[in-house]
Structure 1
Amino acid sequence: MDGIQQEASAQNMSGKRRGSPYQGRMLIRGELVESTGGQWFESINPADESIAGSVPKGTASDVDRAVAAAEEAHSAWAELSVARRSQYLMDLAAAIEARADEVLSLEVADTGNTVTGMRGDVTSCVERVRYFAGLGYELQGRTVPGNADKLQMTVREPYGVVGRIVAFNHPFAMATHGVATPLMAGNTVVLKASEQCPLSASLLGEIAAQVLPPGVLNVVTGDGEVGAALVKHPRVKRLSFVGSVRTGLAIQRSAAEVAVKSISLELGGKNPFIVFPDAPVERVAEAAVAGMNFTWQGQSCSSTSRLFVHDDIYDEVLQHVIEKVRSIRLGDPFDESTQMGAINSQAQLARVEEYVRIGQEEGARLVAGGVRPTGGAFGKGFWFLPTVFADVDYQMRIAREEIFGPVLSVLRWSDTDDVIRMANSVEYGLTGAVWSRDISQALQTARRLQSGYIWVNGINTTARAMPFGGFKNSGIGRERGLEDLYSYTEEKSIQVFL
């Protein structure tokens, strides 16, 4: 039995679900409401397959109600001073902070992510809302030089109603960040919760109802019908989505059928981590494991899931990676000592298993994991051991397609031009990493990688003021910082004749 299985299967995961299942509502016009269709759907705890909670199964009519409420609230919200909108966001941050334990418990039960990881998410949510509350003062226009008889200037104005659709891996973090930015820019928002993990977005609506004016933020829950209705709504002029490339492409097509819309997309990645022969072996191995986001079950679009190691240190780095991966502790997500939780859903687990089968058929060498853990504690739930493939060819499907699970591919290289060509050969371009003691070499490599966010001699941290977004099919647009705030405004030119 794998060492990870032996350690993890000894854990007892009973009795960790705290409280009864959460029953959420949608937030429309400041009121917590049910669906016009009267239906509900349940969200399953990935760790034990119990019912984590339920929310209304919304309809296109509910989207209409939410958009109408946002439209009605927009004029008054946009006319508020920056200081007043900022104070509302500060109040929202304080209200979230006051219920942080409740948010945390709900997120762990709904996502299968560990309590330690999700605690960081909740903390960052509060910080990000406060950050954008202060950043609003930088929402400035320009004056443009002209003749003595003219004054030329620009002003930034909000779009109006913004639609925001979030993913399942960090649902509360994406929801709070996703509404704070457009709200600070003077827009009103309709937030569509993740279908797989909708509970915390519903709780955000519950919290927001206590501090924000009615209609400024609206939260709808439901399946693809609700998302499609929001995308195609003619009075939603600005859309933001985090999820798969396939869905992102569908959103672009659908939105274009009804109106010209501003759309930003973050659509995943198959991100390279290039290790030069002068890199410190053990630190690189630690970074490789951290960069794969095994603590999130590999369910992160920024995961550096392709580890390119120079031939001179390949075997040594690989051995350290295997040892570190095998020491990862699986178990009850509510246990503070757990390092990796459960895959988000049965469908996602099946996807991971299918790619592991494909990797073996393609000839990659499975050196860690590759199966579900066994034992009484894992009798229920969507569990999978952290997995490493060695001797991967860059043209294999496991090295080209996003798995969105705990599967790391390790590739060998010897020529710099070749490794950059291999790294850039996929359709994605979200993040990347380079490790070398030669900073000139590292920076030159970083410049040549077709990715939107590059780490050099480090991994997995993102600066709040740095733009984050992808090249190629990893998306369009940038989040965080001023670029994010400005993206929720339209620039208007005004020319005054004196």
Structure 2
Amino acid sequence: MATTDTPAHRALPKNRGVFYGGKWREVASGRSVPISSPATGEDLGVAAEGGADDIDRAVQAAADAFPAWRDTPAQERAALVRRAAQILRDHAEELAHLDAIDGGNPYQAMYFDAQVGADYMDYFAGLVTEIKGSTIPIGPGVLNYTVREPLGVIGKISAFNHPLLFATAKVGAPLVAGNTIVLKPADQTPLSSLRLAELWGDVFPSGVFNLVTGGREAGVALAEHPKVAKIGFIGSVPAGRSVMQSASGTLKALTLELGGKNALIACADVDPATAAAGIVRGMNFRYVTGQSCNSTSRVYLHEDVYDAVLVELEKAVKALKVGLPNDPETEVGCLSSQPQFDKVLSYIEIGKADGARLVCGGRRCEDPALANGFFIEPTVFADVTDDMRIASEEIFGPVVSVLKWSDEDDLMRRVNALEYGLTGSIWTHDLDRAHRLASRMQSGYIWINDAATHYVGVPFGGYKQSGVGREESIDELLACTQIKNVNVVIGATPTTRAF
């Protein structure tokens, strides 16, 4: 394991096992997997490779803890979630450095993730009194009311692109609602979740928050487990289908945030430099090196501004600073793993072979300081057509495809042709056109004259194959509950009958 005295290395978790029932434990198999930095290749130690036996024990610990946590007064649950959020803020710098060295994303972006994760936890804690039912007027002699109760054990399976954000923001709602948690972080980026479990170990009662690191075996076991009431999953569409299939045996509730091949539309009245800045922002080049399901990686430029926007886009992309993720000046980091690196490079070659014009990027970074990492230059392809694979398949990397449009009806047919429908971005000064295009776009989360921004309390989720359910809002909190209806007859004989 590396011993360099940096903020990232000082933050490395001491515990590399699994955490459940309030204690750190060795995995049943005794297996572990090596962890290395995708930016430098250096050894970061190991993480336990949890399997079905470990998931079973963690779920049982969560199930044992559920009755007492469910019956804990709601404001007390909310207070503990707020306490966990404050711990997250207090340790935001070290956790951000840890995510940067483990996942390859820029430190500044990961520090933002830590702050946002805490904001979401506080947001859901503040909504605890909104977990309420209603009374339903029936008639004389009958009182009818509903209550919302927690589901039980909720499993969370996270993705590698936002390790800390997904480990924090996505547990706030379930915990506030009275559920217990088993978290399985992505096997590529487990370190910040392990450190989080160290920091939160004494915050929640034993068994309320549990963590099992591991790969596919652990994920399948969690999705299939009969004592898990709901699964929250973030990942690709094929992986989401697999999770849904695994969960179907026990008819679990599901929240799935899946892939996207999202469209950004620039109309003829846009300022070219402004549109170019929006494309860079929408691609999340500076955030997670383009590895984001909500990146607007299909850009449709109106023919009247096509050439002018491309000129500005090339300048903006070439100005981005690619560097080591723990350098505070770095804007663009590296890919998370060798398979992801190889996948992105293969799509760049596919784009060239299919006839797209490479405007800039498209290569492994040549800076000697980056030679040991999975660094790819931010890449722009122009003259892309809808039948090209780079325009229709999710690359999940720093590659944007630029297409031309002229007719609005044809544009919307092309935009909506894919199975994805997560986000969309529209750039125009004509508000009539903006709202018309937004109403026709088959996506769940749309920006007008913006891209990539999320707001606490605004429901996020996809249409079509891009997901099931909504998060980041009160909808997420209520989806962690189930409704119970109670009928009370007042007096010996009710005077109202429904049937």
TM-score range, shorter chain: over 0.9
Q: Does 1:289 find its partner at 2:277?
A: no
Alignment of 1:219-298 (within 5 A): 219-256=211-248, 258-295=249-286, 296-298=288-290
Q: Does 1:399 find its partner at 2:391?
A: yes
Whether the aligned pair in 2 keeps the contact of 1:125 and 1:173 (CA below 8 Å) is yes
Paired residue secondary structure (1:225): helix
Q: Does 1:497 find its partner at 2:489?
A: yes
Q: CA deviation at 1:17?
A: 7.5
Q: Does 1:109 find its partner at 2:101?
A: yes
Match of residue 494 from structure 2: none
Q: CA deviation at 1:100?
A: 2.0
1:20-71 CA-partner distances (Å, limit 9, x unpaired):
6544332110012221211211222111011233221112111111011001
Counterpart CA distance in 1 for 2:45 and 2:443 is 38
Whether the aligned pair in 2 keeps the contact of 1:54 and 1:199 (CA below 8 Å) is no
1:325-349 CA-partner distances (Å, limit 9, x unpaired):
0111111111111110111101000
1:396-437 CA-partner distances (Å, limit 9, x unpaired):
110100000000000000000111111111111000011111
Q: Does 1:140 find its partner at 2:132?
A: yes
Counterpart CA distance in 2 for 1:55 and 1:204 is 14
Counterpart CA distance in 1 for 2:90 and 2:246 is 39
Amino acid at match of 1:31: K
Amino acid at match of 2:9: G
Whether the aligned pair in 1 keeps the contact of 2:123 and 2:457 (CA below 8 Å) is no
**Post-superposition, which runs of at least 4 consecutive aligned residues in structure 1 deviate over 6 A?**
14-17
Q: Does 1:19 find its partner at 2:34?
A: no
Q: Residue 416 of structure 1: which of 408, 423, 426 is its match?
A: 408
Amino acid at match of 1:288: I
Counterpart CA distance in 1 for 2:50 and 2:135 is 46
Amino acid at match of 2:266: V
Paired residue secondary structure (1:411): strand
Q: TM-score, normalised by structure 2?
A: 0.95
Match of residue 493 from structure 2: none
Deviates more, 1:65-74 or 1:99-108: 99-108
Q: CA deviation at 1:352?
A: 0.3
Q: Does 1:362 find its partner at 2:354?
A: yes
Match of residue 179 from structure 2: 187
Counterpart CA distance in 2 for 1:315 and 1:393 is 16
Q: CA deviation at 1:84?
A: 0.6
Q: Does 1:90 find its partner at 2:82?
A: yes
Counterpart CA distance in 2 for 1:423 and 1:300 is 19
Q: Does 1:452 find its partner at 2:466?
A: no
1:218-249 CA-partner distances (Å, limit 9, x unpaired):
00001111111101101111111000111110
Counterpart CA distance in 2 for 1:16 and 1:77 is 39
Q: Which runs of 5+ in 1 are unaligned?
A: 1-13
Percent sequence identity is: 43
Q: Does 1:382 find its partner at 2:374?
A: yes
Q: CA deviation at 1:98?
A: 2.3
Q: Does 1:487 find its partner at 2:487?
A: no
1:121-163 CA-partner distances (Å, limit 9, x unpaired):
1111111111111111111111112112211111111110101
Counterpart CA distance in 2 for 1:105 and 1:337 is 13
Whether the aligned pair in 1 keeps the contact of 2:118 and 2:169 (CA below 8 Å) is no
Counterpart CA distance in 1 for 2:111 and 2:387 is 38
Q: Residue 58 of structure 2: which of 59, 66, 80 is its match?
A: 66
Amino acid at match of 1:290: R
Q: CA deviation at 1:15?
A: 8.4
Amino acid at match of 1:125: G
Amino acid at match of 2:455: A
Corresponding pairs, count: 484
Paired residue secondary structure (2:482): strand
Q: Residue 372 of structure 1: which of 352, 364, 376 is its match?
A: 364
Q: Residue 463 of structure 1: which of 447, 455, 458 is its match?
A: 455
Paired residue secondary structure (1:55): strand
Query: Structure 1 residues 15 and 250 mapped into 2: Cα distance closer, same or farther (>3 Å)?
Result: same
Counterpart CA distance in 1 for 2:58 and 2:13 is 22
Amino acid at match of 1:287: G
Counterpart CA distance in 2 for 1:426 and 1:44 is 36
Q: Residue 431 of structure 1: which of 404, 417, 423 is its match?
A: 423
Paired residue secondary structure (2:313): helix
Amino acid at match of 2:261: K
Deviates more, 1:156-165 or 1:90-99: 90-99
Counterpart CA distance in 1 for 2:261 and 2:104 is 23
Q: CA deviation at 1:378?
A: 2.1
Match of residue 303 from structure 1: 295
1:383-404 CA-partner distances (Å, limit 9, x unpaired):
1000000000012110100000
Match of residue 441 from structure 1: 433
Q: CA deviation at 1:364?
A: 0.7
Match of residue 5 from structure 1: none
Q: Residue 154 of structure 1: which of 146, 149, 173 is its match?
A: 146
Amino acid at match of 2:102: D
Counterpart CA distance in 1 for 2:175 and 2:209 is 8
Deviates more, 1:210-219 or 1:142-151: 142-151
Paired residue secondary structure (1:473): helix
Match of residue 496 from structure 2: none
Match of residue 37 from structure 2: 45
Counterpart CA distance in 2 for 1:16 and 1:106 is 10
Amino acid at match of 1:447: S
Match of residue 327 from structure 2: 335
Counterpart CA distance in 1 for 2:360 and 2:455 is 32
Match of residue 477 from structure 1: 469
Whether the aligned pair in 2 keeps the contact of 1:190 and 1:219 (CA below 8 Å) is yes
Q: CA deviation at 1:196?
A: 0.7
Amino acid at match of 1:285: A
